[in-house]
Structure 1
Amino acid sequence: MCGIAGWISFDRDLRGHRPEPAAMTAALAPRGPDASGLWTGRHAALGHRRLSVIDPVGGGQPMTSEHDGRTLTVLSYSGEVYNHQELREELRSEGYHFRTRSDTEVVLRAFEAWGGSFTERLNGMYALALWDTRSEELLLVRDRLGIKPLYYHPTPDGVLFGSEPKAILAHPAVEAAVDQDGLRELLGLTKTPGHAVYRGMREVRPGHTVRCSRAGLREERYWELEAHEHTDDLPATVATVRSLLQDAVTRQLVSDVPLGSLLSGGLDSSVITALAAGDLRARGGGQLRTFTVDFARHTENFTPDLQRASPDGPYARALAAHVGTDHHEAVLDTAALADPRQRDAVVRARDVPIGLGDGDTSLHLLFQEVRRSSTVVLSGEAADELFGGYWWFHQARVVGADDFPWLAALALATPPGVPRRESFLSRDLLDGLDLDGYRAARYHEALRAVPRLAGEPAAERRMREFFHLHLTRSVPFLLDRKDRLSMAHGLEVRVPFCDHRLVEYLFNTPWSMKTFDGREKSLLRAAARDLLPESVAERTKSPYPLTQDPAYAEALRTELGEVLDRTDGALHGLVDREAVRRALKDGTPAEALRPAAELLLCLESWLRLYPVWLDL
């Protein structure tokens, strides 16, 4: 999977500045534990940390292309191109020669053959930096859905870039400063494309290329969702979904290292796992490993709620038995979930304090366990956003709300007496941020980007908006979470539902067809029912699990009180300390304080670890 970093400077000779790009590259060591490389030229330095997945011997980076002893192009690349074998044959037919089996070299030759349009031919997940020594131009490219992260920071004479903000922050010219807009983005749960929280930093938008030359920086879009009429009938649509899914899974099983699948026992991960297990078995590839996260005594003490009607464990085991996987369960105890050291590890991995509490900590610990036996895993990310799996897709009050759907759903699902997650921030800070106004502005900005189809009925038009909002704002948030927490352990996660061909097809499939039998994800269930045991096929949507152990919320409550008592606490300027103390003393249940406590403790960790200068 790897991590990339680099520096372009047109006013200096970077051959005398190796320590700076070397430090940037080293900051990404967890992403690439297998090897490190650094190439420097007169005005460019490209670094690479490698996680060896395809052609471990021959795929070292940065990779260069030479002619008559002169370096022409340099590539630092992160990700996987799943159609690299087909592209290799096409390039060979055009006279190109290869010295490795790696997909990296295919990307390099594709640029040489087709120039900037090479991105349109790639099927995969990738973030790459390509330096052309002849034109002295850098290309920063990110895959269509934003599966792989890529950040950049313009400078007066060029640009700094890296797979994660920590790489850019490792350069001595950059400080970890966050202004009001950065804090709004951080707290607003809006995931605005291109926004990177840290002042002066940007994220390459999904489906975009950023060009850096002496003339400056220029951003170009090479892919976006488009509105088209869907002409297939229901049987043809079901068959097409099955075919596209099978092809995506088959492509993403290619690996020279141990591979597995994340399995919750829900419809999404079960379909991916069943397809993968069947494919491996058909070609003699052995037994697929599967991995499930669970909590100590969770199943026997489980209490259903609005979102989760059942625990994952029994369903994951049923699917594993049905398709014959080598199944593993990572059972986590409350002490580990509440451990401040684990929270610190999550903040270091994500570079910003998202504040999802045990939702992030448990995933971080699961990936740590998975990495002991596998280097690559498949995951069911984005199926809910493609097929309409979340409960709020079917809730009229949310569908009709003038707000991001997940925010409207959160407001509707929050019980009375539970403070909003940002409730205990200081009143002056909240007044200055105006989070509600910021969210509204971002929501209407997102709506303006939705492609329209002439003559589409009002209900279908609204659901097209719904899907576009999720695919361009919610999915990138979830993909970033999965990438950052997995790559902190050198684990590559592949997401077959994010194959752009499937996304394009389903974006234009009518809502009436996606719910043809009156249930959530009708289309996916119809396309894959034959693969699954009845209990799994009929299971209702259950999101990623959270612990229900009361001791977890009590541990957060205790720790929050201790943090407030510290005279040198980093939170003091941001928090309404009296409001927090009242909540801690007036008998407010620890579970009700949980969302706010998770955010505050995550903020404290971030401010202490980095440290961050808040320019508010």
Structure 2
Amino acid sequence: MCGIAGKVSYERDLRRELATARAMVDTMSCRGPDAEGLWARQRVVLGHRRLAVIDPAGGAQPMTVQEDGRVVAAISFCGEIYNFRELRASLVASGHRFRTRSDTEVALRAYVEWGAAAVERFDGMFALAVWDERTSELLLARDRMGVKPLFYARTGDGVVFGSEPKAVLADPVVQARVDADGLAEVLDMVKTPERSVFRGISEVRPGHLVTVRETGLVKRPYWTLRALPHTDDLPTTVDTVRGVLEEVVTGQLVSDVPVCTLLSGGLDSSTVTALAARSLAEPVRSFSVDFTHTSFEPDAVRADPDAPFARDLATHVGAEHTEIVLEAAELADEGVRAAVLRATDAPPAFWGDMWPSLYLLFRAIRQRATVALSGEAADELFGGYRWFRNPGALNAATFPWLTSGSARYFGGLRLLDQGLVQKLDLTGRRAARYREGLAEVPVLAGEGEADRRMREVTYLNLTRFVQTLLDRKDRMSMAVGLEVRVPFCDHRLVEYVFNAPWSMKSFDGREKSLLRAAARDLLPKSVVDRVKTPYPATQDPGYEQALRRELAGVLADSDAPVLPLLDGERARKMVAGSVGAVSRPYDRGSLEMALWLNRWLTSHQITLDL
């Protein structure tokens, strides 16, 4: 994994600005606890923080390659290339000689051999920066599904870049300013491609390249989702999904450090864990999360707790399973919430306690493993969410997850000043983002109206929704130096399933029909029959009580920076309200939004340009 950072200037000598480069790298020490490095020339400086996973002894970065005793290219790389051994063999056959066993050197020499087109050969998750000394150009590239983040800001004479906005903001030339578009990005549950929260900072779009030259900056895609005819019948489709998953999971178990799986007992994580158990020579290690408040009550989206199903799967495949049990007091702990905010760079308002619970889960796992495989993205790809089967959501002229049946879980605006909401024109912005997303959806000639709509919904989920989940998982895992891999984001699987007709994805009348059929023989009946259940949330009323106490303190502090953004009367009523065993999602989300906004404005010294 790791964190990368750097700067290009075509007018100044960056060898005189190494203190700034070190400050940029230091902001990401958690991403790379094992080593750090800088490499500088007059026009460029590359920085790196390393989490050693492949070739711990030989993969130090930034890394260079030489010809005739002169450096021709240098790289700072984050992520994993799972097919690096095959690429290495091809490069050796072309005359390249390797000094390490790392996938980083494979990526660098692949660039020397094939140029920017090398990324099209990579199977993996990655963000990379390559400086070409021959042309004085910088290449920034990001994996196809955007599992690993990469941000940059244009300067008057080049760019500043980093794995996280905090690295970019460590350069004095870039300021932490948030305009109306940026605040709207915070407040709405839609990830706008290329957009960051901060004015002037952009994100490299998944599957895209950014080339920086003295004459300017050029962006272009190297991969996009395409609409292709699906000619396989149902049995063949099921077999193909199974075969690709087996290959992908086996490939993503490659590591020189301990590997485990994240196991909720749902279909997605259970499939990954079961396939890993088949591939590993020793029992697979798995981890789940639960809470000490034991009186589980079913709610609108969670019919049952995870623990029994995770135990069933662990027993079925012989996993060495560990349950990480959290207390409400830990979720509300000041130090934990400060660590979450440092990792995110923006208010993690949606899903409330899931951010600190993920952080605590990953922190506990990191004591036992360095790499974890996750089931993220299966719902978006195979159609797991309720909005895939809700006619009201499907027929609405907006993002399906923001319609009335689902939006209550992503609502956090009740405590905001309504004048501010109107000024930001969140409704208009959302409509514009929706139109932009629809305009990108690839079209298959002759496709029926129903299949075309499901293609649109799937595309929006893969490009506007899952990106928020991938970002959350990356930030919380890297905050403790844990690498999380995502098999369901493999581009071969995504391309194939994206083009399977909806009739196949729902052939048994349930969610994720194709995945269930492909994994049925791997799983216990309890898991096969289980209904889709989201990541768990605490039901301990003590957690919401802690939130209300914190909000009361904010309202009593006349200097609290969030006060001008809030509806004071509503906020006071919220503080005075009663707390039930299971609170309404709107209440919890509104509390979280107000509190995280206040912490963010306070700790990050944000300038709001509204």
Give the TM bin, normalised by the shorter chain.
Answer: over 0.9
Counterparts of 1:287-298 in structure 2, within 5 Å, are 287-298=283-294
Q: What residue is the counterpart of 1:433 in the other structure?
A: 424
Structure 2: which amino acid aligns with 1:191?
K
Pairing 1:614–2:608 present: yes
2:155–2:173 Cα contact (<8 Å) kept: no
Map 1:337-416 → 2, pairs under 5 A: 337-356=331-350, 357-408=352-403, 411-413=404-406
How far apart are 1:444 and its partner, in Å? 1.0
Cα RMSD (Å): 1.3
Q: What is the one-letter code of the residue matched to 1:255?
A: S
Off by >4 Å, runs of 4+ in structure 1: 586-590
1:422 aligns with 2:413: yes
Percent of counterpart pairs with the same letter?
A: 57
Q: What's the offset of the Cα at 1:428?
A: 2.5
| CA–CA separation in structure 2 for the residues paired with 1:414 and 1:483 | 24
- Identify the residue that residue 47 of structure 2 maps to in structure 1: 47
Please say if 1:543 is aligned against 2:546: no
Aligned residue number for residue 74 of structure 1: 74
DSSP-derived class of the 1:217 partner: strand
The CA deviation at 1:587 is 5.4
Q: Deviations over 1:263-294 (max 9, x none)?
A: 000000000000001100xxx3x121100000
**Cα distance between partner residues in 2 of 1:413 and 1:74:** 47
**Whole-Å Cα distance in 2 between the matches of residues 326 and 588 of structure 1?**
38
The one-letter code sitting in structure 1 at the alignment partner of 2:221 is: R
- After superposition, the C-alpha distances for 1:468-504 in whole angstroms (9 at most, x for unaligned) are 0001111111111100100000000000010000000
Counterpart CA distance in 2 for 1:101 and 1:228 is: 38
**What does residue 524 of structure 1 align with?**
515
Any residues of structure 2 matched to 1:111-510 within 5 Å, and which? 111-280=111-280, 284=281, 286-298=282-294, 301-356=295-350, 357-408=352-403, 411-413=404-406, 420-510=411-501
CA distance in 2, matches of 1:600, 1:250: 43
Tell me the CA shift for residue 557 of structure 1: 1.3
**1:507-544: CA deviation from partner (whole Å, max 9, x where unpaired):** 00000001111111111111011000110111110000
Following the alignment from structure 1 to structure 2, what is the Cα–Cα distance between the partners of residues 587 and 145? Answer: 43
Partner of 1:88: 88
Deviation at 1:324, TM superposition (A): 0.7
The offset of 1:584, in angstroms, is 2.9
Deviation at 1:551, TM superposition (A): 1.6
The normalised TM-score by structure 2 is 0.98
* CA deviations over 1:79-122 (Å, ceiling 9, x no partner): 00000000011111111111100000000110111111111100
Letter of the 1:315 counterpart: F
> C-alpha offsets along residues 542-565 of structure 1, whole Å, 9 cap, x if unaligned?
000111112211221121111110
TM superposition shift of 1:340? 3.1
> How many residue pairs get matched?
606
Does structure 1 retain, via aligned residues, the 8 Å contact 2:47–2:76?
Answer: yes
Give the distance between the partners of 1:214 and 1:413, measured in 2 at CA. Answer: 47
Distance 2:129 2:374 in 1: 26
TM-score w.r.t. the length of structure 1 is 0.97
Q: CA deviation at 1:303?
A: 1.2
CA distance in structure 1 between the aligned counterparts of 2:96 and 2:328, rounded to whole angstroms:
56
Mapped contact 1:419–1:596 kept (Cα < 8 A): no
User: Conserved in 1, the CA contact under 8 Å of 2:59 and 2:100?
Assistant: yes
The residue matched to 2:160 in structure 1 has which SS?
strand
Shift of 1:437: 1.1
Matched residue, 1:572: 563
Structure 1 residue matching 2:367: 3-state secondary structure: coil
Which residue identity does 1:182 align to in structure 2? G
Q: Which residue of 2 is the match for residue 106 of structure 1?
A: 106
Deviation at 1:585, TM superposition (A): 3.4
Is the aligned partner of 1:591 residue 2:591?
Answer: no
The CA distance in 2 between the partners of 1:326 and 1:419, in whole Å, is 35
Q: 1:419 to 1:513 in 2, by over 3 A?
A: closer
Secondary structure at the counterpart of residue 211 of structure 1: strand
Deviation at 1:69, TM superposition (A): 2.5
The C-alpha deviation readout for 1:184-221, integer Å capped at 9, x for no partner, is 11111110110011000000000000000101111010
- 1:22-66: CA deviation from partner (whole Å, max 9, x where unpaired): 110111110000000000101000000000000000000000011
Gaps of 5+ in 2: none
Maintained 8 Å contact 1:343/1:605: no
Single out whichever of 583-592 and 249-258 deviates more from structure 2.
583-592
Match in the other structure for 1:20: 20
CA contact (8 A) 2:88 2:106 kept: yes
Contact 1:188 1:438 in 2 (8 A): no
Partners in 2 of 1:504 and 1:224 — Cα distance? 9
> What residue number does 2:544 align with?
553
Mean Cα displacement is larger for which, 142-151 or 111-120? Answer: 111-120
Contact 1:65/1:73 (<8 A) preserved? yes
* Offset, 1:228: 0.5
1:594 CA displacement: 1.3
